């Protein structure tokens, strides 16, 4: 049996989500792939860190944080260790990076990713920061070290989009993409179509944990812009930054506009799109669009995400699925780990 050692950097929602999957799916994976993942390090800002080359007690770590405690009570606790120190000292084949996103600087995640790659470890991340800003550089850096840098979960959580396009649409030219890339705003627009005013729809999204207390990243379209940049640079061969994407959020949409669209057989969606224009330049935008009901994206309601690839050989291909969530995003890291294990 092949054993791969794993370090988890950032033990919040996603870090804990993937830890649960690693525990719950161990037997299945051993049977299907003859692979076992062993977590040898966990590092978190407030919760502390664990380091044990023979494997940490992941169930105990999950229990400790579920009770609101820290990792200090678990075997292998290393009080005061930073993530960078943990990456420098751990015995791991794969580092999972699941700390906070900062789309302006990419930190601290970019430093974590570079440190892991430079030690010859594969990296999988759900953090858009390093991928929006430095995807190509980090992929090349990993290739030079003969390791992988994967980031399926940065777009539509564990719903396969990047790997689907790169593996299953290989041979097609992807001429453009358009999608519902932010679940919070899609949930709000669905509620507004059901008659709720903007403020009530936002309050409800906040109550359900979809929207942050400061909801700008979602409602102003910044989160979707990051995903459009990732898709454009990875799948359309672009070299764009967030400032190159025309952006308009959903804050100015009125109930009247939504009713008018419905009367015309259309439905508003916050659409992230990118395509190559005639001269070769990339046109990328995030903006509310009233789609005809015949468009597959128009039928996607609630917090669900969807992405249509416009291809030369298949025409439009649409993927619909979760765009966020503890298990859903934890799964994206797990899928990346299996991809690494199959090639390792
Ligand atoms: N949740 C989702 O559905 C989802 C979907 C797609 C992508 N993502 C991305 O996945 C990443 C993780 O998301 P999440 O929902 O798990 O966030 P989260 O619950 O806020 O967890 C992030 C964790 O990272 C820790 N952390 C921050 N800086 C650190 C550092 N320098 N060293 C060690 N640990 C550090 C935090 O520690 P403390 O809290 O203890 O300070 C926290 O436990 C983010 O980049 C997010 O954008 C999330």
Residue 66, domain CATH? 3.40.50.720
CA torsion, points 316, 150, 226, 212, in degrees to nearest 10?
110
Q: What domain range is 52 assigned to?
A: 2-159+326-343
Task: Looking at the structure, tell me whether residues 6 and 81 fall in a common domain.
Answer: yes
Please list every protein residue whose CB sits less than 6 Å from any atom of ligand 1. 9-15, 43-47, 83, 98-101, 108, 126-128, 153, 157, 324-325, 329
| Rounded distance from Cα 327 to ligand 1 centre (Å) | 14
CATH number of the domain that residue 304 is part of = 3.30.360.10
| Rounded distance from Cα 136 to ligand 1 centre (Å) | 23
Gyration radius (Cα) of the chain, Å: 21
CA–CA separation, 13 and 37 (whole Å) = 20
Q: For the chain, 344 residues long, give each residue's pLDDT as a single digit of tens.
A: 999 999 999 999 999 999 999 999 999 999 999 999 999 999 999 999 999 999 999 999 999 999 899 999 998 898 889 999 999 999 999 999 999 999 999 999 999 999 999 999 999 999 999 999 999 999 999 999 999 999 999 999 999 999 999 999 999 999 999 999 999 999 999 999 999 999 999 999 999 999 999 999 999 999 999 999 999 999 999 999 999 999 999 999 999 999 999 999 999 999 999 999 888 899 999 999 999 999 999 999 999 999 999 999 999 999 999 999 999 999 999 999 999 999 97
Q: Whose CA is nearest to atom 47 of ligand 1?
A: 101
Task: Looking at the structure, tell me whether residues 212 and 113 fall in a common domain.
Answer: no
Q: How many domains does the chain have?
A: 2
| Rounded distance from Cα 122 to ligand 1 centre (Å) | 19
Check residue 237 and give its pLDDT. Answer: 95
Check residue 278 and give its pLDDT. Answer: 86
| Rounded distance from Cα 40 to ligand 1 centre (Å) | 19
Q: Where in the sequence numbering do the catalytic residues fall?
A: 227
The two structure tokens encoding residue 334: 């797990």
Task: Looking at the structure, tell me whether residues 89 and 9 fall in a common domain.
Answer: yes
Task: Looking at the structure, tell me whether residues 259 and 147 fall in a common domain.
Answer: no
Task: Looking at the structure, tell me whether residues 180 and 276 fall in a common domain.
Answer: yes
Task: Looking at the structure, tell me whether residues 126 and 210 fall in a common domain.
Answer: no
Task: Looking at the structure, tell me whether residues 73 and 109 fall in a common domain.
Answer: yes
The number of C-alpha atoms within 13 Å of 33 and in the hemisphere containing its C-beta is: 19
Task: Looking at the structure, tell me whether residues 246 and 333 fall in a common domain.
Answer: no
Q: Whose CA is nearest to atom 7 of ligand 1?
A: 126
The pick from 9, 14, 162 for probing ligand 1's pocket by mutation, whose C-beta has the most ligand atoms within 8 angstroms, reads 14
- pTM, two decimals, is 0.97
Check residue 91 and give its pLDDT. Answer: 96
Minimum-distance ligand 1 atom for the alpha carbon of 13: 16
The pick from 43, 78, 100 for probing ligand 1's pocket by mutation, whose C-beta has the most ligand atoms within 8 angstroms, reads 100
Coarse DSSP helix, strand, coil percentages of the chain, rounded to the nearest 5 percent: 45, 25, 35
| Rounded distance from Cα 146 to ligand 1 centre (Å) | 27
Task: Looking at the structure, tell me whether residues 304 and 188 fall in a common domain.
Answer: yes
Task: Looking at the structure, tell me whether residues 300 and 177 fall in a common domain.
Answer: yes
Contacts 24+ apart (CB under 8 A), 273-281: 273/176, 273/177, 273/178, 273/179, 273/228, 274/176, 274/177, 274/178, 274/228, 274/231, 274/232, 274/236, 274/238, 274/245, 275/175, 275/176, 275/177, 275/236, 275/310, 276/175, 276/176, 276/236
Check residue 156 and give its pLDDT. Answer: 97
Task: Looking at the structure, tell me whether residues 28 and 82 fall in a common domain.
Answer: yes
The pick from 7, 8, 10 for probing ligand 1's pocket by mutation, whose C-beta has the most ligand atoms within 8 angstroms, reads 10
Task: Looking at the structure, tell me whether residues 197 and 103 fall in a common domain.
Answer: no
């Amino acid at each position: 049996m092949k054993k791969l050692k794993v370090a988890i950097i950032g033990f919040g929602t996603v870090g804990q989500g993937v830890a649960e999957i690693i525990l719950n799916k161990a037997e299945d994976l051993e049977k299907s792939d003859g692979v076992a993942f062993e977590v040898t390090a966990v590092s978190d800002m407030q919760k502390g860190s664990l380091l044990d080359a023979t494997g940490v007690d992941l169930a105990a770590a999950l229990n400790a944080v579920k009770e609101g405690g820290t990792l200090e009570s678990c075997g292998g606790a290393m009080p005061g260790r930073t993530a960078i120190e943990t990456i420098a000292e751990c015995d791991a084949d794969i580092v999972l990076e699941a700390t906070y996103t900062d789309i302006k600087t990419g930190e601290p995640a970019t430093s974590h990713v570079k440190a892991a790659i430079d030690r010859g470890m594969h990296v999988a991340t759900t953090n858009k920061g390093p991928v929006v800003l430095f995807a190509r550089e980090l992929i090349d850096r990993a290739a030079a070290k003969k390791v992988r840098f994967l980031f399926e979960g940065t777009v539509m959580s564990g719903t396969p989009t990047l790997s689907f396009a790169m593996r299953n649409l290989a041979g097609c030219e992807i001429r453009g993409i358009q999608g519902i890339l932010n679940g919070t705003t899609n949930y709000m627009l669905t509620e507004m179509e059901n008659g709720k005013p903007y403020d009530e729809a936002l309050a409800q999204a906040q109550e359900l944990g979809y929207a942050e207390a400061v909801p700008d990243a979602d409602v102003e379209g910044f989160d979707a812009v990051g995903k459009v940049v990732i898709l454009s640079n990875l799948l359309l061969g672009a070299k764009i930054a967030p400032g190159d994407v025309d952006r308009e959020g959903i804050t100015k949409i009125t109930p009247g506009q939504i009713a008018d669209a419905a009367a015309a057989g259309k439905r508003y969606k916050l659409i992230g799109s990118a395509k190559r224009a005639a001269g070769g330049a990339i046109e990328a935008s995030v903006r509310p669009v009233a789609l005809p009901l015949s468009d597959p994206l128009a039928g996607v309601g609630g917090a669900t995400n969807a992405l249509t690839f416009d291809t030369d050989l298949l025409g439009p291909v649409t993927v619909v699925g979760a765009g966020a969530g503890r298990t859903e995003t934890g799964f994206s890291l797990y899928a990346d780990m299996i991809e690494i294990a199959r090639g390792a």
